[in-house]
Amino acid sequence: MTTLVRDFGATVRALREVHAWSQEQLAEYAGLNRSYVGEIERGTAIASIVTADKLARAFNVPIEKLLCVPSRGVAG
């Protein structure tokens, strides 16, 4: 499951950088602690579904955008 946690963190970081937000800004928008945001991005903290929801709302994206690995491939 570590892959999920790492991918989640990488997606959060990528979205934050798209917005050109600092970790402080994202933390503020999501109502989270700055150091916790950093841990999530590095994959050293495992987010709860509530935290995932807060981050998704800060980015204004559906929660599955943070949880579904983009490299799902060409099936379907």
- Based on the shown chain and the rule CB under 8 A, indicate whether residue 47 belongs to the binding site for a second copy: yes
Q: Which of 33, 44, 61, 68 binds a second copy (CB under 8 A)?
A: 68
- Based on the shown chain and the rule CB under 8 A, indicate whether residue 14 belongs to the binding site for a second copy: no
CB 20, min distance to a second copy, A: 25
Q: Taking a C-beta distance cutoff of 8 angstroms, is the pair 27, 37 a contact?
A: yes
What b/e readout covers 36-71, taking b as 16+ CB neighbours within 10 angstroms?
A: ebbebbebebebeeebbebbbebbeeeeeebeeeee
List interacting residues with a second copy (CB under 8 A): 1, 4-5, 8, 46-50, 52-54, 62-64, 67-68
